[in-house]
Amino acid sequence: MKRRHFLALGGLAASLHFLSGKVWASPLSRQSQAPRLLVVLLRGAYDGANLLVPHGYPFYYASRPSIALARPNPDDPKAVLDIGQGYGLHPAVSSSLYALFQQQQALLVPFSGSADVSRSHFQAQDVMELGQNPQGRLDYASGFLNRLAEILNRGNPRLGGISFTPSLTLAFKGKINVPNISLKGQVRDIPNDRSTRLLAALYQGSRLGDYVNEGIQTRHQVSAELEKEMRDASRGAAKATGFNKEVRSMAALMRDNPAYTLGFAEVGGWDTHVNQGAASGPLATNLENLAQGLSSFADELGPAAWRQTVVAVMSEFGRTFRENGNRGTDHGHGNTLWVLGGGISGGKLAGELIDVSEKTLFQNRDFPVLNDYRAVLSHLAQRMYGLSPAQLDRLFPGIRPGNLGII
């Protein structure tokens, strides 16, 4: 029985420990704790053009007569929040992402994504999680986060990862054993003492005994954090529901457990083909919950741990730049990638930029991909962990880290 298979039994997740290399090179690593990296995948392809709004380009308003956001206006709460260079943020993220941006703890990489042009959710998500060249044959045995864990595993002190998903995500598939745990409700019932004693006694003295005890301890910690979040749900301005509840438990695990320095989370519900909305509507609600959740993640970590943490938010592809006949958007190509962290050089747009016009659209319908997401993540890995060129090529074959100045 493989360890990961055992951990799935009964919903237990073990606290795994990993080795890492002594390759700290970035400002993030000059503190006492190792850097943390959380990757958040927005499954369903979110509309980055209505998060990072190109309000300075008339083509935006001509292309989106029903779903465009109003130009910046301090007297209009539904207007775009200007951040310069002809761009602004959706008003739904005013107290979260925009606030982090103003504090130079967030930046955005527009025209980002992968080279995959299938516009298939499943194909594009697989490509992104594997971190491989979509033009070649995909190797489903190896995801990019597992490769990163494998690289860090070769030295000391010990580092590892955790997948906050019902089943192990493809990004963490590979040679390194990584636990997965869903925070979507099924762990809210704290196991009673009798059941955990019986389970521990059943495997005591066996080769699985340590794994069982680690799993029980992690389950207790997750359950306690969820219970605490339920009690504290009314604090602050944000609604403590959905993703916001989950991220506080995620933050506690990544903050308090050295084995969980790499994390992966997923958020669905972004496929807005119909009635997407503008300042309000399904997209606005999702953006508000996501951004507020990530702001809560930073709060729960605390200032010291947040300075040592980077969050990368990406989606399998973007949406069509022009709205469709149902006041929504369809499957597109380029999108906007987020990078958050207490120690990054934020408050700016990073990567290659171009004018937003009909002639710059990809296939006359989508934003192009000018900034490969692998180059962004490679830059983060290089600066956070001091990886060598050979290690970076192992992480993302054939990709050079972008010169983005994020860290």
Q: Show pLDDT as tens, one digit a residue, over the chain (407 residues).
A: 333 333 333 333 333 222 232 333 344 544 446 799 999 999 999 999 999 999 999 999 999 999 999 999 999 999 999 999 999 999 999 999 999 999 999 999 999 999 999 999 999 999 999 999 888 788 999 999 999 999 998 854 577 899 999 889 999 999 999 999 887 644 344 445 666 666 667 666 676 666 667 776 766 665 555 444 334 322 222 233 578 778 989 999 999 888 899 999 999 889 999 999 999 999 999 999 999 999 999 999 999 999 999 999 999 999 999 999 999 999 999 999 999 999 999 999 999 999 999 999 999 999 999 999 999 999 999 999 999 999 999 999 999 999 899 99
Q: How far apart are CA 91 and CA 116, in angstroms?
A: 31
Using DSSP bridges, classify how beta strands 106-113 and 348-349 pair: parallel, antiparallel or unpaired. Answer: parallel
Q: Maximum Cα–Cα distance for the chain, whole Å?
A: 70
198 by Cβ neighbours in 10 Å (0-12 / 13-18 / 19+) ranks as exposed
Q: Which two tokens stand for residue 17?
A: 């420990």
pTM of the full structure: 0.81
pLDDT the model gives residue 211? 61
The answer to whether the beta carbons of residues 181 and 218 sit under 8 Å apart is: yes
Domain 16-184+239-395 class in CATH? alpha beta
Delimit the domains of the chain by residue range: 16-184+239-395
Q: Which two tokens stand for residue 334?
A: 């380029």
Q: Which amino acid is at 30?
A: R
Q: Which two tokens stand for residue 203?
A: 């495997």
Q: How far apart are CA 221 and CA 331, in angstroms?
A: 39
End-to-end CA distance of the chain: 42
pLDDT the model gives residue 199? 61
Q: Which two tokens stand for residue 168?
A: 């192990």
Q: Give Cβ neighbours of residue 64 (< 8 Å, ≥ 6 apart).
A: 49, 50, 321, 322, 323
Helix (H), strand (E), coil (C) string for the chain: CCHHHHHHHHHCCCCCCCCCCCCCCCHHHHCCCCCEEEEEEECCCCCHHHCEECCCCHHHHHHCCCCCCECCCCCCCCECEEEECCEEECHHHCCCHHHHHHCCCEEEEEEEECCCCCCCHHHHHHHHHHCCCCCCCCCCCCCHHHHHHHHHCCCCCCCCEEEECCCCCHHHCCCCCCCECCCCCCCCCCCCHHHHHHHHHHHCCCCCHHHHHHHHHHHHHHHHHHHHHHHCCCCCCCCCCCHHHHHHHHHHHHHHCCCCCEEEEEECCCCCCCCCCCCCCHHHHHHHHHHHHHHHHHHHHCHHHHHCEEEEEEECCCECCCCCCCCCCCECCCEEEEEEECCCCCCEECCCCCCCCHHHCECCCECCCCEEHHHHHHHHHHHHHCCCHHHHHHHCCCCCCCCCCCC
